[in-house]
Amino acid sequence: MSGNLAQILTDTVERHGDRVALKLDDVEVTYEALNEGSARVAGLLKGKGVEPGDRVGLMVPNVPYFAIAYYGILRAGGVVVPMNVLLKGREVTFYLKDPEAKFVFVWGDFAEGAQQGVDEAGAELIPVAPGEFEKLLAGADPIHDVAERDGSDTSVILYTSGTTGTPKGAELTHDNLLSNIEVAGPELAQLTAEDRLLGALPLFHSFGQTCTLNASVHAGALLSMIPRFDPGKALEILQRDRITIFQGVPTMYGALLNHDDRESFDVSSLRLCMSGGSAMPVEVMRGFEEAFGCKVLEGYGLSETSPVASFNHPDRDRKPGSIGTPIRGVEMKVVDEDGNDVPAGEVGEIVIRGHNVMKGYWNRPDATEETIRAGWFHSGDMAKIDEDGYFFIVDRKKDMIIRGGYNVYPREIEEVLYEHPAVEEAAVVGVHDDSMGEEVGAAVVLKKGQDVDADELKAHVKDQVASYKYPRKIWFVDELPKGPTGKILKREIEVPEAVTAA
């Protein structure tokens, strides 16, 4: 029997073929239609010469076509490279060139912006537009078989990064993802075919991909999609589709809680809410639970761990502010700089071992060796464990910024800032923000004799990176704090009060 992840769809269609799998407002796609669409995508790719193990980009928002292409790529034996639709030319080039992807499915609204990057990568753009994509698939011979893949073969490459160097592609195997789905769905969410999920998390991200899309398909549940999160629209769908499970990042919960018309919506169908991506403020959790009458369970994970590593399990005591305990089949502990376990209550780095840990970073054996040591994945996140074995995140060892649930990597933004002729030095840091959790900030040193304002620098960066990445807060300094070797010490950068308050 093949270990191909696409079998979660072929298995489900045998049991629930006539059930609605995906919903986008008035558009409904049954499991049978999803299965047939994915078979035609597989045929389309085979016709273009795609072989098992070949990488294929997927740059499509939260619409049914994402799932059709996703399972079609897997069905053909390909490796999915999910991409944010907001990426621009230079970013698209990297996301295709690094994994040597020769094809990429691109949502029609973003095709023009992506074309330059596709051309520079020497790849072929496959446009995905309502009506046109159906015609394209109609001309393809469907492949109903699922390509033979071993469970240890790579199924998805998710790009992630610390704050130094270029993004790294985490290779997640078919077994990695299937094991995580089998825990996240039936066990943590107690998901069944009767459930209806709100697809508000971006599907190019590991949280949305595993816990929302794959978990719902595995169970035969209904997934109601939102292409771009909006709290008013989310409330409308919660009521309209009698949603039973909501999964989101803390900023989504805050937006729903603070929506002016919240009380006018009937959300009584909700039975479970799941939070991840960053730590949820306890006050937000309490306020949401009181207003929505639904318990929020918080978990923790990373792209490299497929992503779920720990969770507040539904059958155990929940501790607000905690990321819970390790999931079945996974071990977690906190260690000091030398890899020794630290006592309960003391801070150390989270390390993880289990079925969820990635195969490694694509073509980066050095980075893999640095991150996975003695069989343990080193997360870079600092935490402590209480006397009951519950984990509490304390701080982020890495400098990554999480803005509204999206990861922003400072080094990438700094590179663009340095390209401006007036910039001598720049350091990108997270600035606390009530709405976004963190906002992207930049401390900038200008070259002598140069004069440029913050708005011009913002526009310079915004023109070259996805809109969620550019620094909303820029301030100018005479010099940046440095250590003995000349390395910029970000921890010593002071954010002016005027910038924080703005």
**Highest-confidence range of 16-20, 380-384, 425-429, by mean pLDDT?**
16-20
* CATH of region 401-501, choose from 3.30.300.30, 1.10.10.60, 3.20.20.70, 3.10.580.10: 3.30.300.30
pLDDT tens digits, 189-245: 999 999 999 999 999 999 999 999 999 999 999 999 999 999 999 999 999 999 999
The rounded percent of the chain whose pLDDT value lies above 90 is 82
Q: Per-residue pLDDT for 162 more than 50?
A: no
- Looking at the chain, which residues constitute the CATH 3.30.300.30 domain(s)? 401-501
Rounded to whole angstroms, what are the CA distances from 439 to 269, 425, 452, 499? 34, 20, 22, 11
Q: Per-residue pLDDT for 486 more than 80?
A: no
Q: Per-residue pLDDT for 113 more than 70?
A: yes
Distance of CA 143 to the CA centre of its chain: 29
Confidence tier at 490 by pLDDT (50, 70, 90):
confident
CATH class of the domain at 1-149: alpha beta
Q: What's phi and psi for 56, nearest 5 deg?
A: -135, 125
Q: What is the pLDDT of residue 223?
A: 98
Q: Among the listed ranges 10-24, 147-161, 332-346, 384-398, which one has the minimum average pLDDT value?
A: 384-398
Rounded to whole angstroms, what are the CA distances from 489 to 368, 382, 398, 412? 26, 19, 13, 17
Average pLDDT (278-302) is 91
CA atoms within 13 A on the CB side of 21: 31
Q: Provide the mean pLDDT of the chain.
A: 93
pLDDT tens digits, 33-54: 999 999 999 999 999 999 999 9
- Looking at the chain, which residues constitute the CATH 3.40.50.12780 domain(s)? 1-149, 175-351+374-398
- Determine the CATH number of domain 175-351+374-398: 3.40.50.12780
pLDDT tens digits, 398-410: 677 889 988 887 8
CA 74, CA 55: separation in Å to the nearest integer? 10
CA 37, CA 217: separation in Å to the nearest integer? 15
